[in-house]
Structure formats: C-alpha cells, structure tokens
Amino acid sequence: MTYRSPVTDIRFILDHVVPLAPVAATELFAEATPDMVEAILTEGGKLCDEVIAPTNREGDLTPAKLENGVVRSPAGFKEAFAALAEGGWIGIAADPEHGGMGLPQALNVGFNDMLSGANLSLQLSPLLTQGQIEALEHHASDEIKALYLPKLISGEWSGTMNLTEPGAGSDVGALKTKAVPNDDGTYAISGQKIFITWGDNDCVENTCHLVLARLPDAAPGTKGISLFMVPKLIPDADGKPGVANSLKVVSLEHKLGIHGSPTCVMSYEGATGWLVGEENKGMAAMFTMMNNARLNVGAQGIGVAEAAYQQALAYAKDRVQFAPIVEHADVRRMLACMKAEIFAARSIALACGVAIDMGRATGDANWQARAALLTPIAKAYGTDMGIRVASTGVQVHGGMGFIEETGAAQYLRDVRITTIYEGTNGIQAMDLVGRKMMDEGKAAFRLLQEIEDEAQGARGDFPVLAEDVWQAAEELREHTEWMVSRGMQDRFAGAVPYLDAFARVLGGYYHLRAAMAEGRDSARGHLAAVYIRRLMPAYAASLAEAKEGAEGLYALSVEDLEA
C-alpha cells in the first residue's frame, strides 16, 4: 500500500476552513502567497511519499540500536533524513536570519502531519529540533543563537529535549539533575535523564541537548529549574564539533511502537552546559519548546491516522466477503467515520497554527489567547483520534489487521505513545480547564460566539447541520460557564471529557464551514453530515460526564477499587 500525503485536504482547509489568507496579509508572512503554499505542500508531499514513507516499515522491523555507545538508526533513515535537511524542511518556520524559511507555523503543522503519516519515528527527530530552534530563538544569548541555530536549521546537527527523570515525569519540578557553575561561565551538568527521544543518532554530526537542571540552593519545584544547552561534541573555536562532552547514552528502551526512534537513557557526568535564558527561569524557556512540540504531536496523531485510513480503504476495496467489504454498511461506517474524524482534527490543528501565526504577526492578545486555548485541544484530540482511527483501521482488516505483515498494526502501536508524551492528554485537559481558563473563559466564549454566529448564518443552506452545531456550541457555552465557577478539583475531574466535547463541537464547526464552501451535495457536504450527525453528538455524553465533578470519583475509595 502506497502512502499519499493529504496535500489536497490541507490546502482546502487553509483556503476555506481556517483561512491562511489573513496570515499571508501580514508583513511578517507576506511570502506565504498561494503559489508558495502550493509549492511547499506539493513538494513536501512528494518528499514524504517518495523518499520518507518507503523507510517506515524498515524502522519497525529493524529498530535503532546502540553500538559501542553510538546509536545506529535503521536502514534508510540516514538518507531520508539527509533529504529532509537538504530540502530545508527542518527550518520551515525558523527565522530567516539564521537560515530558516520564515514561513507560517500553520504550514509547518501541515508538513509535520504529512511527514508523520510517512514515518512517525523519523519525524520525531526534526520535530524536536524544531522545538529547540524556537526555544533558542526566544531565550538564548546571541552567541548561542549564532553558533547553534544555523546548524540546527540546516540539519547538520539535531536537537533533543531532556526533562524526564525516573522520579520526575508529569511532575517536572521533582527533577534532580544538578548544574554547578564553573569558573568560566559554563556549568557542570550531572544526572540521569530517561526516555530521551533521538538522544543520539548517526544522521547528524552533533546532537544538542536542551537539559533542565537545578542550580545549587535553587528553590524546590519548578521555580528552581534552569535550562542548559549541552552538546554531545563541544564546538571548537571555528564552531566545528570538537571534543566529546561528558555525557553518554546508557541504553535504549524496548518499546510498543516507534521502533525506529531511539529512546535513550542519558547520563550526564559533569558535562559542560551553557545557560539558556535566565537562571531559575528554565521552565518558561522549555515551555516555548513544549508548546511547539505539543501542537506538532497533535499533527503526529493526525498523520498516522491518515496513513492507517488510506491502508484500510485500499484493503476494503480489495477484500471480498460476499461482496467487496467496502460495500457493507458497517465497513462503510468505519471508513466514513475515520475520514470525518481526521478532517476535524486536522482543521483544529491548522486553526491552532493560524492562531499562533496571527498572534506572532500582529501581537494581538486575542489571537495569542486563541492559540493558547487551542494547543491542548489540538494535541489531545489529534492523538486520541489517531489511536481511535488506527484501531478502526485494524478492525477494517479483520484478522489480517492483527497480523504484523499487513502493517495496519504498526500504525496502532506507533501512534499509541502520542497521547502520553509531551504531557499526557490528562495533563493537556487540566491545562485547558486550568491555566487556559484563568481569563474566566473569555477566550473560549469568544470562540463559541464565532461558532454560533457562523452556524446562525448557515441555517438557510444547512438547516439541520447548522442547527446541530449551534445547539452544541450553546450547550458547551453553558457548561463552560458552570465550569469556570467551580473549584479546580471539580474542573480537573471533568477535564478530559470537557476537552473531548470542545473538540467535537469545533470539529462540527469546521466541517460545517467545509460544507458551506462546497455545497450540500458535495463530498465534503456528505462528510460534514457524517461528522455532525454521527460523531459530534458524543459531546453531550462527554459534557454529562464532565459535569459530575470530583465527589463521586472520591466516594469510591482506593479500598473500593481494590475490592
């Protein structure tokens, strides 16, 4: 089965559903003309289809391995990575001052979606490098920027993100890695980090680690964390990789999926590090990297779902049981729902990208708040949906879906991690109902108003679908009013179903916009009806659960759970 990047859908969404045109109308993104968008998506898609996707299976079958302290990537990955680097794809959204293309984040999200569908394990390397580039652009000194950014953007070097330790996962503030100031302004970094994605590799000449660590006498928790650049090879006076730093990969994890992506246990043994940003302000700097990565992890879920869908559709057209199985109502239901969910999640992720770009280009606080609100939704819904769709893809294959040769199982195994890393989806949902609603829900209400206004205007052409979307937005508004009046424990207990409801209402809205662009009797009109009538209604059940609050959960004691 050959993977085809969803260029047409991404293009359609950026033209009609969450338009990129206002972004391109700003001075900052004036280069993102329709011709440029077309060229980027078409060329990027071609690279994903012809060069990257053929390496996906090999990565699963022959995982990355550790040989004499060096990580060897699976066959074909080096060449595929080189093609990504040569085409400038790592720096799509990076600052042109250091060699980036300076294009909108929305286009980068679209590219990451296509790349993830082609090979999720490989995509993780540029994903983390892109996050590191953004963190350095915002927080690093001019010297660090000048030394590292051109190499990271060109793909000569790659970047990692080192937060997690055995005792510090979701609770990053518990980390113990130490940073002791040296006499020359550098710091000696010591400690163990686990689960470090692409912590070493043979695709680049240097691996640059952004490491969170604690200065002596720093305050406990997240307030006492600083961020350091710790390169594998210390750059010499000419900026070339020089002597080896005091760090090593101790081992690689054996995982359920993404076998091609090396997940490393790292040991830092007095390694030389350079401070990024201010002392004890490391979390703020790391958040720049994490926010970028969160949205693009949402795109990972969408990309893998797309690949799983394409494979399931091809199989369903081929496989005959009484008739080609694509003709059976339940199989048709599965395929239609897969396609409709992917479109909804893709629109949400691109809407988040557009909001980030508008916020950057205009400095408008409302756009920035929109981007902040949409980030956890794009991450969690994109990845939850990715698992649902990949699992349905296995189901469409029947028994063959459970057999590894088919490849359908790989998508499910690979995508499973996406709801866990970059902050679990539970943590994303808590972010949505906590930090992102510190404004008493203003950003959410603005978005819901927009949905209601648009649905109101669509009633003439789409009386049923528009009414459904309007009604859903209204119920979500009422629930949001209720929620912002509650304490955090109640909010947190309902956070995951609330996020799901929000995403479904957004998905309905974006499908309605797609239908309005093409008409009721178009393919997009029919797909909108599938989403709005069959998938969106789950928002009501999610809101009912969200409104239950925390009390009932704790009424069931730990002993009750054990009984």
Ligand X SMILES: Cc1cc2nc3c(=O)[nH]c(=O)nc-3n(C[C@H](O)[C@H](O)[C@H](O)COP(=O)(O)OP(=O)(O)OC[C@H]3O[C@@H](n4cnc5c(N)ncnc54)[C@H](O)[C@@H]3O)c2cc1C
- Please give the positions annotated as active site: 422
- Single residue of 162, 288, 296, 410 touching ligand X by CB under 6 A: 162
Min dist CB 295 to ligand X, Å, is 15
Min dist CB 222 to ligand X, Å, is 13
Q: Is residue 356 within 8 Å of residue 371, measured between CB atoms? A: yes
Min dist CB 368 to ligand X, Å, is 25
Coil, helix or strand at residue 440: coil
Chain centroid to CA 264: 20
Q: Exposure string (b/e) for 372-385, b if CB count within 10 Å is 16 or more? A: bbbbbbbbbbbbbb
- Single residue of 427, 455, 473, 529 touching ligand X by CB under 6 A: 427
Min dist CB 424 to ligand X, Å, is 3
| Token output for 12 | 């359609």
Q: Is residue 154 within 8 Å of residue 91, measured between CB atoms? A: yes
Q: Residue 107: which of 349, 366, 298, 300 has the closest Cα?
A: 349
Q: Is residue 148 within 8 Å of residue 208, measured between CB atoms? A: yes
| Token output for 397 | 């294959």
In the complex with ligand X, the residue whose CB is nearer, 235 or 426, is 426
| Residue in this structure with the two tokens 């950014």, named with its chain if needed | 149
Q: Does 163 bind ligand X (CB under 6 A)?
A: yes
In the complex with ligand X, the residue whose CB is nearer, 383 or 406, is 383
- Single residue of 421, 502, 509, 531 touching ligand X by CB under 6 A: 421
In the complex with ligand X, the residue whose CB is nearer, 107 or 210, is 210
Q: Residue 346: which of 218, 533, 507, 556 has the closest Cα?
A: 507
Stretch of residues binding ligand X (CB under 6 A), selected from 275-283, 424-432, 460-468, 517-525? 424-432
Map residues 39-78 to x or -, x wherever contact with ligand X holds by CB under 6 A: ----------------------------------------
Distance CA 234, CA 119 (A): 31
Stretch of residues binding ligand X (CB under 6 A), selected from 297-305, 327-335, 420-428, 478-486? 420-428
Stretch of residues binding ligand X (CB under 6 A), selected from 83-91, 229-237, 419-427, 451-459? 419-427
Q: Does 169 bind ligand X (CB under 6 A)?
A: yes
Cβ atoms < 10 Å from Cβ of 317: 13
Nearest position to ligand X, beta carbon = 169
Phi-psi region of 20 (alpha: psi -120 to 50; beta: other; left: phi over 0): alpha
Tell me which H or E stretch contains 349: helix 329-362
- Single residue of 129, 158, 197, 419 touching ligand X by CB under 6 A: 197
In the complex with ligand X, the residue whose CB is nearer, 116 or 310, is 116
| Token output for 325 | 């199985």
Q: Is residue 126 within 8 Å of residue 114, measured between CB atoms? A: no
Q: Does 196 bind ligand X (CB under 6 A)?
A: yes
- Single residue of 62, 280, 424, 471 touching ligand X by CB under 6 A: 424
Min dist CB 195 to ligand X, Å, is 3
Q: Does 150 bind ligand X (CB under 6 A)?
A: no
Min dist CB 436 to ligand X, Å, is 16
Q: Which amino acid is at 225?
A: I
Coil, helix or strand at residue 158: strand
Pairing state of beta strands 187-197 and 178-181?
antiparallel
In the complex with ligand X, the residue whose CB is nearer, 163 or 275, is 163
- The angle, 0 to 180 degrees and rounded to 10, between the axes of the packed helices 142-154 and 120-139 is 160
- Single residue of 164, 311, 406, 542 touching ligand X by CB under 6 A: 164
In the complex with ligand X, the residue whose CB is nearer, 192 or 395, is 192
- Single residue of 3, 29, 81, 195 touching ligand X by CB under 6 A: 195
Q: Does 211 bind ligand X (CB under 6 A)?
A: no
- Residues 259-288 contacting ligand X, CB under 6 A: 263
Using CB under 6 A as the binding criterion, the count of chain residues that bind ligand X stands at 18
Give the ranges where 89-241 is alpha helix by DSSP (H). Answer: 105-118, 120-139, 142-154
- Residues 353-412 contacting ligand X, CB under 6 A: none
Q: Does 228 bind ligand X (CB under 6 A)?
A: no
Cβ atoms < 10 Å from Cβ of 147: 20
Q: Is residue 497 within 8 Å of residue 468, measured between CB atoms? A: no
Min dist CB 308 to ligand X, Å, is 19
**Beta bridge mates, 229:** 210, 274
Q: Does 419 bind ligand X (CB under 6 A)?
A: no
Q: Does 297 bind ligand X (CB under 6 A)?
A: no
Q: Does 161 bind ligand X (CB under 6 A)?
A: yes
Q: Which amino acid is at 217?
A: D
| Residue in this structure with the two tokens 């797909």, named with its chain if needed | 527
| Angle (CA) 396 397 398, round 5° | 95
Coil, helix or strand at residue 42: helix
- Residues 70-129 contacting ligand X, CB under 6 A: none
Q: Is residue 507 within 8 Å of residue 536, measured between CB atoms? A: yes
Q: Does 174 bind ligand X (CB under 6 A)?
A: no
Min dist CB 548 to ligand X, Å, is 16
In the complex with ligand X, the residue whose CB is nearer, 196 or 313, is 196
Q: Does 170 bind ligand X (CB under 6 A)?
A: yes
Stretch of residues binding ligand X (CB under 6 A), selected from 156-164, 219-227, 314-322, 365-373? 156-164
Stretch of residues binding ligand X (CB under 6 A), selected from 13-21, 414-422, 507-515, 539-547? 414-422
| Token output for 15 | 């033209």
Q: Does 420 bind ligand X (CB under 6 A)?
A: yes
**Interface with ligand X by CB under 6 A: which residues?**
161-164, 169-170, 195-197, 255, 263, 417, 420-421, 423-424, 426-427
